[in-house]
Chains A and B, each alone.
Chain A
């Protein structure tokens, strides 16, 4: 310590400057590293979007056109009309929305039972874990045969039923967390005023935990939107989803029909972009529990 006291002011100042410069360099390198990462992780999206906006003549030039001089929506138009993209996009929207609502309606009372009566809470975490780990390939074979017998293949109902059930444990688990934060007194006050338990749940609790339910709903939406295995096996020509539609463009080998293919990828990843921003705080929880993978 004695040495430090004897230091001349210039030396101290020089050291401080050097340290500040080092910190500045470290700062710069940090942002540089993140910039490289952003280019790697978002580059493919950028390229897909620009490709989907190219005119047909832009594909055949060298040097390649990276940003189309005259962006056009012609590939989207072709996708929607020629490849029935409008229908499949609607199918995805309808199936995901229905599954999302059904999963919420089924999960809420179960979550309530677990949060209020400590009913099967331990069992829930085991069921959740087992379902999270269970390979979907083990379910698709029996379900395909059962659906064939029942005539449920190529129907919205069949796919929505599977998606709802696959999503219930995850939804219950998240909802229990939100319900436990909810003060029991409010609900009891409503019940003393003559409300039944179910009515108290619907009219008193639901409005208050609505933001939490929105989180569950968005995860459910993206998970069903992204699901592929059940979709490719169980859907037919009328009920294909966007995930099944994109695979139809691979038949052209490595140089497939780029325009419509890229347009369909853009539409297919759109919900992921929206949800990544809306659910920032919950991403770790959601992804770890399989919130985005059907």
Chain B
């Protein structure tokens, strides 16, 4: 009887009971705050003015989209940081993955060592590099002087172009290992027989790279790039430590500008509106990502 009861009678409430703790917490800490934040974005709550606020409708959004050069500048900065970072991470990651896939001995240990930067917090990565870039005591200036490559103590964050390049360098250092890991997994999933057959037909190594590796790795590359793209729209900790948005506001990213609006100017409603505009942008990218993945599933099926 007990066995019968166990297998046939399904208690409807049981799955809900098991899932309820996490559902309740997600509702409390994610869904409710997001709703509250949307409400805030329609008001003019400003902590530097006071605790009172009133409903202003879409006014904040109008300001974000049409009358905020600083935000528009940060959108541009973010794009200027993202584009070269993605290209470099993809090329370097692919190169490293190809090198690793040819290694017979010691691959796990080399892979783990190369993966370490990706495991480190952006704040720590930026701090290490900020010290490396240090004018008097930094490793880069000292090494350059010792080797005779430069003849003055150089300030690597003095101009906009240099600061942006430094940010890109640190970002590439930080996240190329991620791309490498993703692409290495992709390369290893390509059946060896394809290469053997190509070799038997007299294909050169670069020919098998162009006609086997690259086409079969295409979707892996797209997924890796999309993940990095979406994460790069959130670039914050790295900027906070490396440049704090400077010089001027030339390296401020969208996330950093929103942080400043909220926690330096204390314009809470305005920051909420900014964050919702960012969410909208990320949502478009996410839908694109889901569409690509569905395309991939359709292809492989």
Contacts and interface: CB of A to CB of B under 8 A. Distances in A.
B239 to A, nearest CB: 11
A227 B236 CA distance: 11
B259 interface: yes
Interface string A247-282: 101100011101001101100110011011100100
A110 B18 contact: yes
A136 interface: yes
A30 B99 contact: yes
A226 B15 contact: no
A24 B187 CA distance: 23
A138 interface: yes
A21 interface: no
Contacts, number: 282
A182 interface: no
Interface string A65-94: 000000000000000000000000000000
A45 B116 contact: yes
Contacts of A204: none
Taking residues whose C-beta sits less than 8 angstroms from the other chain, chain A's interface range is 35 or more
A12 interface: no
Interface in A127-170: 127, 129-131, 133-146, 161-162, 164-166, 168-169
A64 interface: yes
B249 interface: no
Q: From DSSP, what is the main secondary structure of chain B's interface residues?
A: helix
Given A47-B132, A106-B21, A265-B127, A162 B121 contact: no
A34 B95 CA distance: 10
Given A168-B25, A284-B182, A142 B37 contact: yes
B241 A41 contact: no
Interface stretch (B79-87, B195-203, B206-214, B278-286): B278-286
B240 interface: yes
A117 B145 CA distance: 66
Given A48-B128, A63-B146, A117 B115 contact: no
12 contacts: A38-B114, A41-B176, A116-B15, A133-B230, A133-B289, A134-B282, A140-B262, A254-B155, A258-B137, A261-B131, A273-B119, A292-B119
Given A228-B122, A250-B244, A283-B118, 4 more contacts: A137-B278, A254-B155, A254-B157, A284-B185
Interface of B: 2-3, 6, 10, 14-16, 18-19, 21-23, 25-26, 28-30, 33-34, 36-37, 40, 95-96, 99-100, 102-103, 108, 110-124, 127-139, 142-143, 145-146, 155-157, 173, 176-178, 181-182, 184-185, 223, 227, 230-231, 233-234, 236-237, 240-241, 244, 255, 258-259, 262-263, 268, 271-272, 275-276, 278-279, 282-283, 285-286, 289-290
